[in-house]
Structure 1
Amino acid sequence: MDLPVMPPVQPMLAKAVAGVPDPAKHTAGGITGLSFEPKWDGFRCLVFKDGDEVELTSRNTKPLTRYFPELVAAAREQLPARCVLDGEIFVAVGARLEFEVLQERIHPAASRVSMLSEKTPASFVAFDLLALGDESYVDRPFVERRAALVGALEGLTGPCYLTRTTDDPVVAERWFHQFEGAGLDGVIAKPLGAPYSEGGRTMMKIKHERTADVVVAGYREHKTSTPEHPLLGSLLLGLYTDDGLQHVGVSASFTAKRRAELIEELQPLVCPIEEHPWGRWQEFLTANPDRIPGTQSRWSQGKDLSFTPLRPERVLEVKYDAMEGRRFRHTAHFKRWREDRDPESCGYDQLEQPVGYDLAEVLGG
């Protein structure tokens, strides 16, 4: 492989902003304006193609090629002979993206990778151009990169796609609300005049943010915790259903001072696992489809996932972006204690459900 831009390359990143920004207030390289596009919920991926040679690399530059043989074949068939593209790998089930199904594709067994490539095939959506033919585009403004990308990829119908864009913030605001129903993560804004800055946070991301009242059901200690100086690592959170208290996710990201305060504050609630709503799960020692707390999976990589059970008597308000099935998609953020809430009143009915939207409309607009 001999391309103008060679791996490893760290993809350009985004910083979070509160809402859809005003294009008139953003100038880069002497060009004013922003380009908006859907924020895909998958694996960030750089595609390097030189003839029949194709390499896929992740956000942290690790190889993804072996896990997605169907995309290697699609790249050979659908993409320009020599190119370097930035985009996202996703798996769609019906009309929605399904991140958990995508995660299953990262598996050490070649036989399972092959089986899943047929059972749950992945797609790739391109949203930036680093090289085409013998030309590097990394130093060119995005408006030029986008024009060349459209010229090279327009008309793709899958499994490789070209993302749609708009320069209208009103349209971007509509996408922000509509596309979540198809499993997308928000909207990205790119300065029209900015070059491709490897590892730089020159893009902006607008993500969904919501709140929920959840029950604190346990905690894990921080990796630096010691018997002399115990520190809380994360809080285990639950919501009630007719079947009892269900594990819904975790809250983490505290200062060292707050970690020490929290673990001391929660000690009066510590209880034996036999007296805890999750005591019936203590027999499980391996990964399971219900994500029972305290169990191992191939994603935990041998980490100690044991937890200290707490009587489910305290309610916490958290911020979260989206749900993945019955759990928070990402780590929830501690907002405040809710002493006024009864734990048994904290159920899934409080969670906002996005309006359904067909993924085909996002891809084929």
Structure 2
Amino acid sequence: MLVEEAILGTLLKEPHLLADSELKEEYFQVRENRNILKALKGLSAKGKAIDMITLLTTGSPEELGGAGKLNRIQTLANELKFDSYVEVLMDSWREREKLNILEKAKHENWSLDKIIMELNFLTSNIVNDHQSIRDLVVNVAEDPWIQKEQSRGVLTGLDELQRATNGWQNGELIILAARPSMGKTDVMLHFAKQAGWNDCLPIVFSLEMNSTSLRDRLIASTGPYNRSKMRDLYNRLTDAQKKTWMNTLAKVGETNIEIFDKSGQTIPEIRMKIRKLKNQYPEKQPIVFIDYLTLIKPTDVHKGNMHLATSDISKGLKAIAKEFDCPVISLAQLSRQVEQRTDKRPMLSDLRESGSIEEDADVVIFLYRDSYYSKNEEDKTLEMIIAKQRNGEIGMVSCLYNKYTGVIS
């Protein structure tokens, strides 16, 4: 069973996956493979190092297939495909269990209801996500008479936007969409900084801009320094600005932003990297930023159909928000039809040709600067148009944007 060995080989090389894989020995057909999983879990529970030497010296090597097998399964390890391998394993287990249920039902003459109930159990998630409405309503029965601290999402750093959204909520997909040159990346970095300064873990997937460019933007907006000076700091920074340089770098470092800047990343790859960081910083609340949505590499099954590919990607981002119980903020481009209107403020219809983005998003915010069209350099107003908010009101909030430094206030 190659898929079983690929999963175990990946766990052996990347033991952090054990913490959230929810694998059980019964899912494996081969006895030696069941023994390996049991041994891996045993080492993890005891806080011991997980490697081939520890495995062989802790238990009985022949029960694990020996050193040769352990060496071989490590060559099959593939962290990027780990989730896919687990899905194949689960499908095989469910198929075996289905046949066992039907065989048992035949011999024991089960009722149709019992057969359906047992089969439905197989299609349920491994994680127990069942909640009774009776239990849920009991939890809020006394709330009208007890003052509780209001829960808030990840801070936005903008008072008006914070009041309108109550911050970025866990499990939600937020789309920040605009035409080019409206300040999308600067707004994203502002939100990432604010999240980091408030003890969250901002994870940025920059599929267009490299990490050094993002670093320079973060420094410029924190300084604040004119971005043009970042190209020649020695000659262009004033003496006064040089005196603030080290303090600015320290403040940027305190954001704890993690950046992945490889182009053409896929949804499984993004998921894997988030999981790794979440295991590395278990005490931090992650918040994920994508720059930007349509640069995520689609799967080959779409055969070049970008409409279907984008729809699949937006569903994948929403699934990540739910799986890791964190906000996912993705930038998105708008269609050119915006430019053909007299009033160039975006509308939800400008997203529709991008598949199910509008449907999958919990919040859609459009960015608009009138000064981009009027060429009025004195106008620093940036409008944030909340066009969709599944759990709140829609409307517009405004802030100030300095396009030279990237400062949002």
TM-score range with shorter-chain normalisation? under 0.3
Higher helix share: 2
Higher strand share: 1
Identify the structure with bigger relative contact order (alpha carbons < 8 Å, sequence gap 6+).
1
If the length of structure 1 is used for normalisation, what is the TM-score?
0.27
| Greater Rg by CA | 2
